[in-house]
Structures are given as structure tokens and as C-alpha cells.
């Protein structure tokens, strides 16, 4: 193969690798559990992160006129193996909401209350911690343990 | 019973496939073609059996056989017929069965006899395809059996998941499967070609495996492209977020094999051309690797989201399938890449032994070959980028012990420059396509210089257009320049080649053009695909960089501004049909030119699924699309939360999609007339294009009504919609029941409260005592109250007035003229006109006293 080809190929590859690494540094989110987030250094806390936790049903408050929904999520393990050892996601979620000592996080989300925002649902929130200690979620994804087993195949769902 | 038969014939198909693979192996060992024939017959039997299994499952759906768990979970008695069909691929089990059947059918077609070279490759290809078939049929049998039965028959099924009841979704899975299954055939022939190379004593067949699979590559490409486009459109229409691509792992899973396949299609062109010139190198090794990679990525796509390796919103149950697919991926990658290394290692060893007689290819980087090489590299880098993004949490956890997650922003940033570079290559390639030397020569002769000049003009013109239309971000202007350049040079390529042909053959322009397209379908189909991509790029720039999204609460009758639109929510309606509760808002849309349309964003709630399906209202235009999504509503229905998304240039995205498919179809169009395939292929192509055009534009998803109201008094047509705040009030020309003149002229200088009501409307009557009280209070402050009753006779109106004790002026609008002029959609509705005759306030529904008083105080205070 000609040298110019190799050079051009390497050049493109290096540029793309640079893009990959630098974008991960600037625009990718940390994916953390609440405990991990609490343990973060002060200067990292303002960053955009993704948190996952179990929703406490009683804490859900919805103001339809803004619209804005506030709720509290509690610590669940982030590691899949740990979840499986504890008996699956549904069991982990049920345990988390009944554990008064679990780390908590108040979340505010500007938007309509999603149907799936229920007691014991798993919430994945993307956003950042505000100075007042409330987590401001730009995105809110929910998984319900009861529907979790519903069987849409991968290729149907995109 | 039905279920048992289904299971039995699926199992028989598995055995037949196994026999086919073994027979092919024996034929390789013994060199006895009869074994090969026997194996082929077994493959045909397997395809027929799996076809039968699919038919049985269809039959089970059509006869509402809910004993079969899969039918009960994806169909119901009331489900329309077409949904009973499409429910076949509404879940994992049925999808895998369909996949297995398609795999078997396409394998039979791909293993038909051919020329000498193909015959040499068929035995090993049959072995590989048998293994692939065994894998998919085996998974269907052991892990994901669609024929599993309940012990007793349920009365009714759950029905198909509501979000899948969309035309885009009907065709999206099967077309993607065509792409996925189609990729197994290049994989099989690539492996066969490598193995044949490695076998000692067997003479190397002349020619290349890529010529055998070229048609399959195009078929797979068409399937994947159409599947991806339909998926995008579905997301745009149904998912209720106003976007079409969210870089979700499931989307990425379909995109990655598309990248490698597109790269392979480019590599194949160069290998073909090199072969024709008598050169050998071309991109042969790349092409093998790309074929292997594409197949492995198909497996990855089906496996990734259910393995737990990737976090996704779509990540449903982590089924046992993850491990099975992981093993399959590793096996196919190791086999494929291992064979490539072994074969090319052996080849270079042999080359060293004897001097090569064939022509060495030697092209500078700035030549057609060089640019194709860069294209392949870029596609591989894109695949790598998307792959890394999809597994970023897992990768970063391993590397730095912390999970990072790649959002859309990450993907846009990483892939954006690479896509831009691809468009640049597209633009430059036709200009220096015949090598730099040829370019210099033709530059002197003026033709290429003219092309380059046109390209730059095109880039400038596109930037100018963009600026004129108000797209001023520098990055987007750079993007426009690239698309302009690429579009012009692609068109130039057509013009230039037509002109040369005209000259050479002395043909008329249109004859030359059609001749060109007809005789070199793949080449010019490719250029049309490029044009489609360029159009899509314009759409992507517009929608990604200039999207406006706003979510807000609308009170009935009060206008709100979104971009250059003014939206007025009129009223909310609900209707229950079967298990579905539909709620829709009627929203009137105005632009600076007045009434534009009425939009009906709707939400269907399916109680059985605890799931809502959002049918967005979409007003499409060349400049931009406006999407309205109903996000929520108040209990009494007088306020709704709407999400409005303005997607500039989205039109070009969908137009480009169709052009893109048309180009692919042209490339795929059979070369010569005659033969069954040459009848089937055009039918397939035409129906596919028509179907996708329908799915993308023809569906009534964005429900938009244009209501023109004829204004009989002035003889002109006034466009519908309610009279708006800040606009001159429509004319009044009524006489009160007590003989008062209630005309615009008579009421000028007064603040007028117009209350539309009807005697049969309880809410109106409840509201009227309050109106009377306020009317009395403001009597001497220049405020006149006027009641306008409609759809009633004078008797009942007078009775009602006496009953309630109304003393302000009331007129009867028998003809409904005033009602239509004010664009009333129900009663009660109240308007306040200021002394100049301008609408100052509009309220739909019963009015609260403090609201009315505060509005009146503000107006009275002005005086």
C-alpha cells in the first residue's frame, strides 16, 4: 500500500480518536448512583451527570400550570451484577424505597408528568445539581419494573 | 394442536438445515456434486418448512388462537386485519421466526447455480449459510419459541402494543430484516472465497467473490436504508418529541452495519474496476473485512440491547439471548478475520516465491481510488465512533473506573465533522475522478475547470440562499457550502457525461441522458444516492442547528407565540373507542398573513397497556415543519400543555430520503430483461418506493384542517379561526330583541362585552347572572354588554332572559353570520372590544367574575 494512503488513513484515525476522547471529556455525562454523586468532589458536582434511583411515590408533586414535577429518588446500586445478586431490578427498587437510610436526591423536572413516574419506578435523570441542593433534570427516563419484562424485540423498538 | 405442528415443523427445518450443511461438507470432501445437490434440496426443504411455520403463525393470528401465548400477547379479537398480519413481527419470538424463514429463503436463492467461479464457491457458502440458519432457527426453537401455549385458552388477547400501530412500523421491521438477512450472503461468499484460497491443491478461481454478491449488497443496502428511514419517520410522527434521530443504542445498532455496508459498496466498485483493468489489488482485503464486520454488526445489533452491555431506554428484559449472541459474534469475527489473515499471509508468501506478472496498481491519493479509500476509512471511523458511543459506559468503567454516558450532543460532535468530510469527498470526487493528471489535462481544456468553477458557484449560491433564509450560524454556512459544492458537481457529472455521449453518438440530450442512466445503472444510481444524501444533509443541518422547541401552558382563547407563529388553543375533546381514550386539542395557527391552519394534536390512551400514544399534529412546509404535541391538560379542559417544535428544513430530509432510495433502486434494477427475477425485482422496487412515499408523506398523522369561511355579507372569503386579540373586531350588524341597533358603528366609542350563548347551554345560563351584575356595575363607565344567542328560537331566548333577569341587550343570530365571523367553536365564549373596535380579550368557556372585572378595569383605566 502506498505511503500516502497510510498517512492519510492514520491522519483521519488520529483526528477521530482525538474527537472521541475530547468529546468524552466535555460533553459526555457521568453515569453515577446517588451515593457516588454525593461522594464526588465539590468542583465536579456542578457538572452534567446522569443519576439513577428509585422513585418515592409520596414525594411526587406536579404543578400542571408551569408544568413542573418534583420528586425524590433514592439510592439503588448501579452495577448490574449487584442488582442481579439482590434479586433483580424489581426487588432492588422495592428494597430501596423502603429503606429509610438510603441516600436521597430531590429532583425537579420542567415538563409534563410522565405516566411512568410512579412509586418504585426507576428514574434516570440527566442534568446538574443546583446551588440549592436540588437536582435539575433536563431529561427524565423511567423504567417500571412491572413493564420491564414486556417483550418488544430490539429491532422493533427503535 | 396448531402450536405443536408449528414447533414440529420448525424442528424439522432445523434438522433439514443441519443435513444441508453436512451434505455440503461431504461434497467438498468427496468432490461429488450429487451430495451438493442433496444438500441444496435440504436447504429448499428447510425454507419451505419455515415458510410453513410462518404461515401457521399467521393462521393462528387470523383465527384468534389465543392459546398460543405469542398470539394472545400481540393480538386481540377486535384488532384490524392488517394489524393481525403485522403482529407477526410485533414481538421477539415472531420476529426471530420470520427472520429464520427469510434467512432460509434468501439462502436458497443465493445458492442457485451460476458461472464457473460461483460454482467453485457454492459448497463452502452453503456450509456457512447452513450454520447461520442453524443459529437463527435454533435460537427460535430453544430460546424464543413463538408456539409456546397456555394450558387453557384465554378469552381475548392483549392486542398489539399501541406504539407499533403506525404504517412506518408495519414495514420497518421486515425491511430491516431484509437488510440484516441479506448481509449474511456476502459474509458466506467472503468466507467461502477465503477458504477456497487456503485449500492446497485447489486452483484459485478466477474473478472475484464480490461480483457474485453485488446484487445482494444492493438488496441489503436498500433494506437497511428503507428500514432506517421508516424508523426515523415513525419517531418523527409518533414518539412525541419532534425529532427523528436520538442516537439511541437501538438506532445505532441499525446504523453501524449500514456504515460498513456502504463502505463495502464503495470498496467493491474499486475492486471491480481494478479487476477489469487486470490489476489485482483493489481493495480486496478491505472488502473481506467489511463483509465480516457487517455481519458481526448485525448480530451485535440484535444482541446489544438485550445483553445489559448497553444502557438504553429500550433496554428491555435482559434475556438469555445475550450470551448466545455474544458467542455468535465472537465466533463469526474470529473465523472471518482469522481467515482473512491466513489467506493474505499465504498469498504474500507465494508472491515472494515467484515474481508477479499482474499489473501493480499505483494511484496517487488524489485520484478516484484514493478518494474511495478515504471514503472507506471514514465509514470505518464512523462505525468505530458510533460503536464507542454505544458502549461508552462499559468502556470508560473499564478504563477509568467511572461510567461516562454519550448523549446526542456527544454523537453530534463526534460524527458531525466526519459526515462533513464525507460530503466534501462527494463533491470533489466527480472533479478529479479520473486522476489528478487527467484533471490537469482537462483543466487546460476547460472542462474540469468549468466543473470546479460550477462547484464553487453552487457552494456560493447555497450559502447565499441560506443567508437569505436567515440561517446565519457559521458552521451551518460551511455545511451549506459543502452541500452546494457536492450537489453541483454531482449534477455536473450527469451533464458532462451526457454531453460527451451526445457528441460521440450524435444523440439528442434526453436520449443521451436516458442511455447513460440505463446502461450504467450502478454508477448513476450511486450519484443519485449522493444527491439524496446531500439533500438529507441540508435537512440535518436545519433540524439539528436551528430547531426551536417550546413547551407551555395554553389557556383557551389566549394566543401564544412560537417562532413566527401565533397559536390559539380553542377547545379540548375526548372520545372513547374500544380500549382507547382519545383526547385532542383544537389549535388554530396564525402566521403574519393571518389564519394558516387548524391543528389537532392528539393523545390516545390505552388502558390495557397503561400506555399513551401521541399522534402529533404536523404542519409541513418547505422552509420548516411545525409539530404540535399534546403533553397534558387541565381537569376542566380549559387549559392544555402543548409542546411545539419547529424543525427548519425538515422537508429536505424526507425528500432526500426518497431520492436516496430511488438511487438505490436504480442501482438495483436488473440489468437485462427476461427471467423471473427481472419481473419480481421491478415490482418489489416500485412497491417499495410507493410504500415508503406513502409511509413518509401520505399518512394523516399530522391532522391539519384548512377551514375557509365564506363571508356572505362582504362576498369575500374570510379564513377561519376565532377573532384574535389585537385585531380589528369582525363586523357586527344585529338588532337587539328590544329593537336596539347593535352595529359596529353604533357601538364605536364604547367598550363592548360580547357574550355568545344559547338557551340550551347550562354553563352559559349559569354564567349569565354574573354578567348581569358586572354589567350593572360598569353601566355608567362606558361599558356595553351584548348577548348573542344562536341556534335557538326567539321564544326560548326571551323565556330564558326573563327567567334569569337579564336587562342588557341581547340579539338573536338566526343565520349564524356573526357566529361564523367571530369563529366561535362553542358556547359560551366572550369577547371584549375596546372603543376603537379592536379585540382586547377573548375567553372560551365560562368566565370567572374577577377575571372579567380585571380586564374591564384595565380598559376603563386606559381612558
- Pairing type for strands B733-735 and B594-599 reads unpaired
Rounded-to-integer distance, Cα B424 and Cα B418, Å: 10
> If we measure between CA atoms, which residue out of B324, B274, B278, B288 comes closest to residue B144?
B324
Number of domains observed in the structure of chain A = 1
pLDDT of residue A155: 31
Contact list, B177 vs chain A (CB under 8 Å): 155
Which one of B365, B395, B417, B419 makes the best mutation probe of the A interface by having the most chain A beta carbons within 10 Å? B365
**pLDDT tens sequence across B524-569:** 899 999 999 999 999 999 998 898 888 888 888 778 888 888 888 8
Distances, alpha carbon B289 to alpha carbons A77, B177, B223, B294, B341, in Å: 40, 22, 21, 9, 10
- Residues B230, B232, B238, B241, Cα dihedral to 10°: 180
pLDDT of residue B38: 94
Task: With cut-offs at 50, 70 and 90, classify the pLDDT of residue A154.
Answer: very low
Rounded-to-integer distance, Cα B250 and Cα B261, Å: 18
Nearest CA in chain B to A17: B385
B304/A8 Cβ within 8 A: no
ipTM metric:
0.76
Q: How confident is the model over B427-437, as a mean pLDDT?
A: 70
pLDDT at B794 exceeding the cut of 50:
yes
Report yes or no on A99 lying in a domain.
yes
Task: With cut-offs at 50, 70 and 90, classify the pLDDT of residue B279.
Answer: low
Rounded-to-integer distance, Cα B264 and Cα B216, Å: 12
- B 63-92: CB under 8 A from A: 73, 89-92
Which one of B69, B379, B413 makes the best mutation probe of the A interface by having the most chain A beta carbons within 10 Å? B413
Q: How confident is the model over B395-417, as a mean pLDDT?
A: 82
Distances, alpha carbon B594 to alpha carbons B60, B554, B588, B648, B715, in Å: 54, 19, 11, 21, 19
What stretch of H or E contains B361? none
What is the distance in angstroms between the Cα of B710 and the nearest Cα belonging to chain A? 37
pLDDT of residue B185: 95
pLDDT of residue B695: 67
Helices assigned H by DSSP within B506-576: 509-519, 521-545
Task: With cut-offs at 50, 70 and 90, classify the pLDDT of residue B3.
Answer: confident
Rounded-to-integer distance, Cα B150 and Cα B66, Å: 8
pLDDT at B205 exceeding the cut of 80:
no
- B 536-555: CB under 8 A from A: 551, 553
- B 104-163: CB under 8 A from A: 161
Q: Are B572 and B640 in contact (CB under 8 A)?
A: yes
Which neighbouring-strand residues pair with B588? B568, B598
pLDDT at A79 exceeding the cut of 80:
no
Number of cross-chain residue pairs from A and B with Cβ atoms under 8 Å apart: 168
> If we measure between CA atoms, which residue out of B248, B245, B239, B258 comes closest to residue B405?
B248
pLDDT of residue B318: 47
Nearest CA in chain B to A20: B414
* Interface residue B406 vs chain A (CB under 8 A): yes
Which neighbouring-strand residues pair with B598? B588, B705
Report yes or no on A80 lying in a domain.
yes
- A 89-118: CB under 8 A from B: 110-113, 115
* Interface residue B404 vs chain A (CB under 8 A): yes
**Structural domain for A109, as ranges:** 30-147
pLDDT of residue B717: 39
Residue that wins the pLDDT comparison between B355 and B577: B577
Report yes or no on A19 lying in a domain.
no
**pLDDT tens sequence across B495-532:** 888 888 888 888 888 888 888 888 888 888 999 999 99
Report yes or no on A9 lying in a domain.
no
Residue A108 sits in a domain of what CATH number?
2.40.50.140
Contact list, A5 vs chain B (CB under 8 Å): 365, 370, 373
Contact list, A78 vs chain B (CB under 8 Å): 403
What is the distance in angstroms between the Cα of A59 and the nearest Cα belonging to chain B? 20
B173/A156 Cβ within 8 A: yes
Residue B239: how many other CB atoms lie within 10 Å: 17
Helices assigned H by DSSP within B674-826: 677-693, 744-747, 762-777, 794-804, 817-822
- B 486-525: CB under 8 A from A: none
Nearest CA in chain A to B96: A153
B126-130, B604-608, B755-759 — most confident range: B126-130
**pLDDT tens sequence across B671-728:** 665 567 677 777 877 877 787 777 666 554 555 555 444 333 433 334 456 777 777 8
pLDDT of residue B116: 80
What is the distance in angstroms between the Cα of A19 and the nearest Cα belonging to chain B? 6
Burial per residue of B446-467, b for 16 or more beta-carbon CB atoms within 10 angstroms, e otherwise? ebbeebbebbeebbeebbeebe
**pLDDT tens sequence across B462-476:** 888 888 888 888 888
Report yes or no on A103 lying in a domain.
yes
Task: With cut-offs at 50, 70 and 90, classify the pLDDT of residue B296.
Answer: very high
A147/B313 Cβ within 8 A: no
Report yes or no on A22 lying in a domain.
no
Preceding peptide of A67 cis, ω within 30°: yes
- B 599-628: CB under 8 A from A: 610-612
Amino acid at each position: 500500500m502506498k505511503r500516502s494512503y497510510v498517512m492519510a488513513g492514520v491522519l483521519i484515525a488520529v483526528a477521530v480518536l482525538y474527537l472521541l476522547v475530547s468529546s468524552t471529556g466535555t460533553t459526555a455525562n457521568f453515569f453515577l448512583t446517588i451515593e457516588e454523586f454525593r461522594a464526588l468532589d465539590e468542583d465536579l458536582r456542578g457538572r452534567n451527570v446522569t443519576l439513577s434511583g428509585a422513585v418515592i411515590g409520596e414525594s411526587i408533586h406536579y404543578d400542571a400550570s408551569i408544568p413542573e414535577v418534583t420528586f425524590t429518588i433514592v439510592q439503588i446500586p448501579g452495577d448490574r451484577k449487584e442488582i442481579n445478586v439482590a434479586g433483580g431490578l424489581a426487588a432492588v427498587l422495592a428494597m430501596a424505597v423502603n429503606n429509610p437510610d438510603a441516600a436521597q436526591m430531590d429532583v425537579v423536572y420542567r415538563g409534563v408528568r410522565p405516566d411512568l413516574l410512579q412509586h418504585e419506578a426507576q428514574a434516570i435523570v440527566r442534568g446538574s445539581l443546583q446551588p440549592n441542593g436540588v437536582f435539575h433534570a433536563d431529561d427524565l427516563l423511567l423504567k417500571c419494573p412491572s413493564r420491564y419484562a414486556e417483550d418488544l424485540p430490539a429491532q422493533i423498538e427503535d | 394442536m396448531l402450536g405443536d405442528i408449528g414447533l414440529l415443523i420448525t424442528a424439522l427445518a432445523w434438522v433439514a438445515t443441519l443435513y444441508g450443511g453436512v451434505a455440503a461438507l461431504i461434497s467438498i470432501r468427496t468432490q461429488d456434486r450429487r451430495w451438493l445437490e442433496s444438500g441444496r434440496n435440504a436447504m429448499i426443504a428447510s425454507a419451505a418448512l419455515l415458510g410453513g411455520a410462518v404461515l401457521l403463525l399467521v393462521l393462528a393470528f387470523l383465527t384468534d388462537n389465543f392459546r398460543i401465548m405469542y398470539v394472545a400477547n400481540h393480538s386481540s379479537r377486535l384488532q384490524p386485519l392488517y394489524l393481525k398480519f403485522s403482529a407477526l413481527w410485533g414481538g421477539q419470538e415472531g420476529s426471530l421466526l420470520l427472520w429464520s424463514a427469510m434467512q432460509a429463503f434468501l439462502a436458497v436463492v443465493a445458492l442457485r447455480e451460476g458461472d464457473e467461479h460461483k460454482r467453485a464457491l457454492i459448497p463452502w457458502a452453503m456450509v456457512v449459510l447452513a450454520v447461520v440458519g442453524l443459529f437463527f432457527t435454533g435460537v427460535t426453537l430453544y430460546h424464543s419459541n413463538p408456539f409456546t401455549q397456555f394450558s387453557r385458552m384465554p378469552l381475548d388477547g392483549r392486542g398489539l402494543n399501541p406504539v407499533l400501530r403506525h404504517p412506518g412500523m408495519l414495514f420497518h421491521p421486515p425491511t430491516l430484516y431484509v437488510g440484516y438477512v441479506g448481509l449474511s450472503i456476502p459474509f458466506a461468499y467472503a468466507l467461502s472465497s477465503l477458504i477456497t484460497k487456503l485449500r492446497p491443491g485447489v486452483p484459485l478461481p478466477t474473478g472475484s467473490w464480490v461480483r457474485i454478491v453485488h446484487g445482494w449488497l444492493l438488496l441489503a443496502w436498500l433494506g437497511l436504508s428503507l428500514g432506517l428511514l421508516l424508523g426515523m419517520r415513525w419517531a418523527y410522527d409518533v414518539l412525541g418529541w419532534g425529532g427523528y434521530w436520538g442516537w439511541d443504542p437501538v438506532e445505532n445498532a441499525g446504523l453501524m452495519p449500514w456504515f460498513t455496508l456502504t463502505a463495502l459498496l464503495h470498496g467493491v466498485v474499486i475492486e471491480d474496476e481494478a479487476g477489469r483493468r487486470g490489476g489485482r489489488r483493489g481493495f480486496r482485503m478491505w472488502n473481506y473485512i467489511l463483509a465480516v464486520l457487517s455481519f458481526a454488526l448485525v448480530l451485535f445489533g440484535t444482541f446489544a440491547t438485550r445483553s445489559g452491555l448497553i444502557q438504553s431506554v429500550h433496554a428491555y428484559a435482559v434475556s438469555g439471548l445475550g450470551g448466545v449472541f455474544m458467542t455468535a459474534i465472537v465466533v463469526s469475527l474470529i473465523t472471518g478475520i482469522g481467515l482473512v489473515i491466513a489467506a493474505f499471509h499465504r498469498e504474500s508468501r507465494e508472491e515472494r516465491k515467484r515474481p508477479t506478472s499482474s499489473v501493480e496498481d499505483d494511484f496517487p491519493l488524489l485520484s478516484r481510488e484514493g478518494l474511495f479509500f478515504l471514503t472507506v476509512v471514514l465509514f470505518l471511523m464512523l462505525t468505530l465512533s458510533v460503536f464507542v458511543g454505544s458502549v461508552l459506559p462499559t468502556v470508560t468503567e473499564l478504563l477509568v473506573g467511572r461510567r461516562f454516558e454519550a448523549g446526542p450532543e456527544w454523537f453530534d460532535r463526534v460524527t458531525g465533522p466526519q459526515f462533513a468530510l464525507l460530503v466534501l469527498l462527494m463533491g470533489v470526487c466527480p472533479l478529479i475522478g479520473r486522476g489528478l493528471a487527467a484533471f490537469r489535462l482537462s483543466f487546460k481544456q476547460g472542462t474540469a475547470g468549468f466543473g470546479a468553477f460550477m462547484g464553487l458557484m453552487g457552494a456560493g449560491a447555497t450559502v447565499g440562499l441560506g443567508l437569505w433564509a436567515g440561517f446565519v450560524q457559521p458552521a451551518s454556512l460551511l455545511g451549506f457550502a459543502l452541500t452546494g459544492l457536492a450537489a453541483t458537481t454531482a449534477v455536473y457529472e450527469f451533464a458532462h457525461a451526457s454531453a460527451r455521449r451526445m457528441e460521440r453518438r450524435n444523440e439528442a440530450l434526453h436520449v443521451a441522458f436516458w442511455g447513460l442512466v440505463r446502461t450504467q445503472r450502478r454508477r448513476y444510481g450511486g450519484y443519485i444516492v449522493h444527491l439524496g444524501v446531500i439533500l438529507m444533509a441540508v435537512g440535518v443541518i436545519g433540524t439539528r442547528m436551528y430547531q426551536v422547541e417550546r413547551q407551555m401552558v395554553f389557556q383557551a382563547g389566549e394566543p401564544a407565540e412560537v417562532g413566527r407563529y401565533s397559536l390559539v388553543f380553542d377547545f379540548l375533546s375526548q372520545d372513547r373507542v374500544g380500549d382507547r381514550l382519545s383526547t385532542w386539542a383544537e389549535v388554530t395557527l396564525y402566521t403574519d398573513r393571518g389564519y394558516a391552519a387548524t391543528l389537532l394534536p392528539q393523545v390516545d390512551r390505552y388502558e390495557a397497556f397503561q400506555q399513551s400514544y401521541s399522534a402529533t399534529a404536523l404542519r409541513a412546509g418547505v422552509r420548516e415543519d411545525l409539530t404540535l404535541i399534546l403533553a397534558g391538560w387541565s381537569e376542566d379542559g380549559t387549559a392544555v400543555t402543548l409542546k411545539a417544535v419547529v424543525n427548519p428544513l425538515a422537508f429536505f430530509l424526507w425528500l432526500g430520503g426518497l431520492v436516496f432510495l430511488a438511487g438505490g433502486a436504480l442501482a438495483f434494477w436488473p440489468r437485462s430483461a427476461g427471467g423471473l427475477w427481472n419481473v419480481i425485482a421491478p415490482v418489489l422496487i416500485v412497491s417499495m418506493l410507493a410504500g415508503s412515499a406513502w409511509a413518509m408523506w401520505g399518512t394523516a398523522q399530522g391532522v391539519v384542517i384548512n377551514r375557509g369561511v365564506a363571508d356572505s355579507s362582504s362576498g369575500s372569503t374570510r379564513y377561519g379561526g376565532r377573532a384574535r386579540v389585537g385585531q380589528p373586531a369582525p363586523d357586527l350588524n344585529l338588532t337587539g330583541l328590544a329593537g336596539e341597533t347593535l352595529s359596529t358603528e353604533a357601538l364605536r366609542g364604547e367598550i363592548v362585552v360580547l357574550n355568545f350563548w344559547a338557551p340550551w347551554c347550562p354553563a352559559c345560563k349559569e354564567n349569565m347572572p354574573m354578567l348581569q351584575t358586572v354589567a350593572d356595575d360598569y353601566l355608567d363607565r362606558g361599558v356595553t354588554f351584548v348577548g348573542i344567542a344562536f341556534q335557538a328560537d326567539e321564544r326560548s331566548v326571551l323565556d330564558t332572559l326573563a327567567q334569569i333577569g337579564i336587562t342588557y341587550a341581547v340579539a338573536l343570530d338566526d343565520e349564524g353570520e356573526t357566529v361564523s365571523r367571530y369563529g366561535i367553536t362553542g358556547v359560551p365564549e366572550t369577547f371584549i372590544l375596546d372603543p376603537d373596535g379592536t379585540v382586547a380579550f377573548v375567553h372560551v368557556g365560562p368566565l370567572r367574575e374577577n377575571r372579567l372585572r380585571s380586564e374591564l378595569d384595565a380598559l376603563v383605566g386606559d381612558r
